Structure 1
């Protein structure tokens, strides 16, 4: 169990999700060291936290040997580092695999040395293009190990295996969260993921580009809810894996239509060829999170999209964004 006011190391803390985790931890009274290489994260995401005396930022490539790391005492280590958008992990395939393998091992070693609680932010991508619907934690997945998405999928599957190996063989206190599609403020407008692409296209008056037929489904969880789920798992004594996501399923085309309506744009919806290995259906079974953690999402899609659109309207220079590589959002 986690103690109030302890020191928490958040690896990947300057990313979209990581920055929200850091912010919430500070609000709860924890001391936070944010570690990030800034390859896909941004110092701007945590700039508002630098005035907090409980916050420290360390720029570090977590695949470097642990002997080169600065001293990072921690009662807990939260490992959220990884390129997560299709555009990023296709641009950085080797780096993605190294973060999943070497970075996870380094983070686990750090946690083991300090007797710290370790949380791995894994992903629904471990289920691949699922043959089971909705996806429960007992499902082993349907993953193409050599396809264009494999560098991300297999990095996370290996990270899960390594995390549980440390738990079984070394007694490391671990938790594994399988995060489903998450969206909200601080996503990058050009990162190729579903929600930021549609929102920036709509705000700039460009066509909303849907990959494939648009009948493929996603289940979108607003970032505040995802953070609450992650921290509920972290503060529990559960090992997992545990699905953290929103079980409300919708088609990609329906999402594009919702964003069109909420932005008031008359932009058309156009279709482009589908991405290789793009999952046809994606929806979590969150029974375990509900029963063991008392957690489920609270923010409905329209409210979450309104908040996200408002943030992008304030922070994005109107411009036409490139079409998504896949209809994904994590």
Structure 2
């Protein structure tokens, strides 16, 4: 169902990182809205998430290192908006030299995109950058995170995200392009198959390995990917927006144990868990959740799924896509 009227119909919109979890869902949301989507992927990308797309969507193998390919894309397709979902590969960054290397890659990608736009006369109406809640400074006594919360990442990956954001801000200001930033909290939903907690829980429910579960003292804000996509498209549709950052979360936090209990209730069965097996890491220090009041007031956006509804939808997708049933052995 198209929630955005006719605004997107036929509009050429580039999505980088289109083979990823959020990127592929953005592509499908743009399809529903009637856009002419240009989905950029690497030559080495696994395209399993981009199955059965319609003819208005073009999947293009153009790495963001390819300045000539990007310039040609802008010359031929004349995109009006870019949704930048691409990010350095998903690693637990441990060494500082990994951080520096990935910062250079991310910066180079952004520079190449803005240069391609400039080379064809500056045609972009907006640049939408997909960022992360990991950029925030938070602690057990300061856990409700608004767009005004200080930016002081606790992890090297968060520092990389913040560095990428700062580069994006500088390039957008220099080129006078409205920059609209979505700060994403804990995303889940269809087409996610990475090693995140909800996926591990679903795998365990359908016969996979037991889920390692800590003491449950920390809580996270889980937001369904469809709600994220509605927010991202809202950032494009509102032409009155200049440069702005908005949180996209649910505004509610849940512990891992609560997530397990909800999934067990939906499936009417126990999920095998192994308690006390996770070593503490820097992210396991209390709770955090999004203040989403600004997105509500500016875009009229709010999540349509609570966690129970979102997990029901995700489980139905999981069962249908992977053709699995509950293993009662």
Q: TM-score range by the shorter chain?
A: 0.7 to 0.9
CA distance in 2, matches of 1:128, 1:201: 33
Which residue of the partner structure matches residue 196 of structure 2?
193
Which residue of the partner structure matches residue 323 of structure 1?
none
Once the two structures are TM-superposed, the CA of residue 300 in structure 1 deviates from its matched residue by: 1.6
Deviations 1:16-56 (A, max 9, x none): 111111111122121011001276x631211211xx23111
Once the two structures are TM-superposed, the CA of residue 84 in structure 1 deviates from its matched residue by: 7.1
Deviations 1:96-129 (A, max 9, x none): 5445322222233344553311100001011154
Which residue of the partner structure matches residue 328 of structure 1?
none
In the alignment, is residue 209 of structure 1 matched against residue 219 of structure 2? no
Which residue of the partner structure matches residue 315 of structure 2?
309
Instruction: Select between 231-240 and 266-275 the one with higher mean Cα deviation.
Output: 266-275
Which residue of the partner structure matches residue 172 of structure 1?
177
Which residue of the partner structure matches residue 35 of structure 1?
40
Q: Which has the higher contact order (CA 8 A, sep 6+)?
A: 1
In the alignment, is residue 109 of structure 1 matched against residue 115 of structure 2? yes
Which residue of the partner structure matches residue 129 of structure 2?
120
Which stretches in structure 2 are left out of the alignment for 5+ residues? 1-6
Which residue of the partner structure matches residue 3 of structure 2?
none
CA contact (8 A) 1:200 1:318 kept: no
Once the two structures are TM-superposed, the CA of residue 139 in structure 1 deviates from its matched residue by: 1.2
Which residue of the partner structure matches residue 282 of structure 1?
288
What TM-score do you get using the length of structure 2 for normalisation? Answer: 0.83
Secondary structure in structure 1 of the residue aligned to 2:291: coil
Aligned length: 305
Of 12, 21, 28 in structure 1, the residue corresponding to residue 17 of structure 2 is 12
Once the two structures are TM-superposed, the CA of residue 309 in structure 1 deviates from its matched residue by: 1.3
Which residue of the partner structure matches residue 258 of structure 1?
262
Once the two structures are TM-superposed, the CA of residue 199 in structure 1 deviates from its matched residue by: 0.9
CA distance in 2, matches of 1:37, 1:65: 10
What TM-score do you get using the length of structure 1 for normalisation? Answer: 0.83
